[in-house]
Structure 1
Amino acid sequence: MREAGYGLLLAIQFLTRLPVPVESPWTAATSRWAVRCYPLVGLLLGAVLAGVYLLLQERLPTPLLALVLLSLWVALSGGLHLDGLMDVADALGSNAPLEKRWAIMKDPQVGSFAILALLFLLAWKAMLLWALLEARVSPVLLALVPALGRLGAVALLVLAPAARSEGLAWHWKQHLDRRDLLLALVPPALLLGWLPGWPLLLVALPVFLLTYGAAMIRAFKGINGDIVGAAIEGGELWLLLIAWSWWSFATG
C-alpha cells in the first residue's frame, strides 16, 4: 500500500497546488497509482468547493458566490488544465499542417485563439454555476464534477493512442491498462448514487470523451498532456451543462 500512498501524493502534487511536504518517488507502480487517484483528487477539490458552497450560500449573493467558487476552482488546480486548453485552442485555430500545429502547441506565447477559448470557457462555467446555485443544486454535484472530469482524463490516457513517443502523457501511458480505469472509477461511483439524475452524467461523460477523443485523434493523430488537460476543462463544462439541463427540467 506504500505505492498507493505515494501515488496519491504524486497525483495531488501534479493536479493541484495543495502543498505536499513528502517527496514521492516516481516509479512504474507509483505513477500507475497516481493515475488511478486522479478522480480521488478531483473529489478532494470538489469537496472543498462543496464545503465553501454550504458555508457561504446564505451569506453571499448568488453571482458573487458563483465567482468565488470558480476562482477557487481555478486556484486549487493552479490553472494547469486551462494552460492545456489554451495551447490546444491555438494549435487548432491556426489551421496549419500537423507539424506546425505541434510547434504552436509547444510555443509558450499565447495567441488570440487561446485567449478566446479561456474567456469563453470561464464565462460559461461562471454562468452555469450561477444558474445551478439559483436552482439550489446539491453540493454533491460540485464534488462530483471535478472527479468525473479527471476520470475522463484517465480514460483518455488508458484508451487513446499517444500522438508521439515523448512527453508526460506518453510516460503516464506506459504502465496503464483497462484495470486502472476501472479502479479510477471507484471513488466517483461511490458518490454517484447521492446525486439526483446521476445516470445522465454517467452517460454524458462517455459521449463527450468519444467526440473529443475522435476529434483530437483526427487533428493530432493522438493525445498529449495538453490535450488531456483540455479534456478535463471541457469535460467539466459539459457536465455542468448537462446537470443544469436536468436540474432545470426537474425543478421546472
Structure 2
Amino acid sequence: MKHALHGLVLALQFLTRLPIPIACPWNAVTCRWALRCYPLVGLLIGVLLAILADLGQALPTPLLAMLLLSLWVGLSGGLHLDGVMDVADAIGSNASLEQRWAIMKDSQIGSFAILSLVFLLVWKGMLLWSLLAIQASPWSLVALPALARFGALVLLRLAPCAQREGLAWTWRQHLSRYDLALALVPLLLVFGWQPGGIWLLAALSGFLGLYGLLMVRLFTGINGDIVGAAIEGGELWLLLCVWSWWWFVMG
C-alpha cells in the first residue's frame, strides 16, 4: 500500500501542477505504481473539470468554455502542449529523419509549433463551447483526461522507442501488460459499463493505432514528446467523440 501511495503522489507531481510538497522515493516499484496511476490522475483532472462545468452553468457559455479550457491547461502546466509543439515543428520541416530529431530536441519554437498550439486550443475550446451549448452532462468530461493518459501508457508499452535513452525509454522499462491491465481497472469501474464508455474505448483504440503507425513511419519510434502529444491529441479526439455522441445519439 505504501508503494502504491508513493506512486500516486509521483504521478500527480509529474502530470499536474497541483502543489504536493511530499518527497517520495524513486525506484522501480514506485515508478511502476506511478505509471499504473496515470489514469487516476486523469480522473482527478476530469472530475475537477466536471465540477467547474456544473458550478458555472449560470455563466455565459463562451466564458465557461474558456474557464474550462484554462483549468484544463493549467492543471497540467502545459506539459503535453510542449510535446505537441515539438512534434509539429519536426513534422512540418519536411527534413530528413536526423534533422527531424534535431528539430524536436531544439528548444526554439517554430511557426508549425505555434500553429499547432493555436489550432489545438481553439478546437478544444470550440468543442467545449458546443457541449455546453447542447447542455451535455458536465460529467461526460470526466473520462477524457483519464482515457488519454491510459492511451499514453498503451503507446508507451506497445510502440517501439526510437532511442534507448530518455524519459520514454526509462518509463517503458517499468511498464508491463499486467501494469496496463491494472491501470485500466479504475476506468472500467467508473464508466466502462456505460454504452458511451465502450464507444470511447473503441475510439481511443483507433486513434492510438493510426497515431502510433504514423509516428513509427516518421520517426522510427516514439519518445517523451511523442507520448505527450498523444495525450493532447487523444483528449481532442475524445472530446470530438463525446460531442458526436451527444449531438447524434443523445440529441
Fold-level similarity (TM above 0.5): yes
Matches within 5 A, 1:25-174: 25-57=25-57, 59-174=58-173
Deviation digits for residues 181-224 of structure 1, max 9, x if unmatched?
11111122122157562221111000000000000011111111
In structure 2, what is the Cα distance between the partners aligned to 1:131 and 1:102?
A: 37
Indicate if the aligned counterparts of 1:140 and 1:195 stay in contact, CA closer than 8 A: no
3-state secondary structure, aligned to 1:197: helix
Matching residue's letter, 1:234: G
Percent pairwise identity: 67
Indicate if the aligned counterparts of 1:138 and 1:195 stay in contact, CA closer than 8 A: no
Matching residue's letter, 1:71: S
Gaps of 5+ in 2: none
**In the alignment, which residue of structure 2 is the partner of 1:180?**
179
Indicate if the aligned counterparts of 1:53 and 1:139 stay in contact, CA closer than 8 A: yes
Normalised to the residue count of structure 2, the TM-score between the two structures is: 0.97
In structure 2, what is the Cα distance between the partners aligned to 1:27 and 1:205?
A: 30
Quote the RMSD (CA, aligned, Å): 1.1
Gaps of 5+ in 1: none
Normalised to the residue count of structure 1, the TM-score between the two structures is: 0.97
In structure 1, what is the Cα distance between the partners aligned to 2:194 and 2:116?
A: 30
- Greater alpha carbon shift after TM alignment, 37-46 vs 189-198: 189-198
In structure 1, what is the Cα distance between the partners aligned to 2:21 and 2:102?
A: 36
Give the deviation of 1:246 after TM superposition: 1.4
Matching residue's letter, 2:121: L
Deviation digits for residues 148-177 of structure 1, max 9, x if unmatched?
010101101111111101111100001211
**In the alignment, which residue of structure 1 is the partner of 2:219?**
220
In structure 2, what is the Cα distance between the partners aligned to 1:129 and 1:195?
A: 21
- Greater alpha carbon shift after TM alignment, 84-93 vs 181-190: 181-190
Number of matched residues? 251
Give the deviation of 1:140 after TM superposition: 2.4
Residues 197 and 231 of structure 1, relative CA distance in 2, 3 Å threshold = same
Residues 142 and 195 of structure 1, relative CA distance in 2, 3 Å threshold = farther
- Greater alpha carbon shift after TM alignment, 180-189 vs 40-49: 180-189
Indicate if the aligned counterparts of 1:140 and 1:194 stay in contact, CA closer than 8 A: no
Indicate if the aligned counterparts of 1:63 and 1:130 stay in contact, CA closer than 8 A: yes
In structure 1, what is the Cα distance between the partners aligned to 2:115 and 2:232?
A: 14
Deviation digits for residues 124-148 of structure 1, max 9, x if unmatched?
0001011111122222221110000
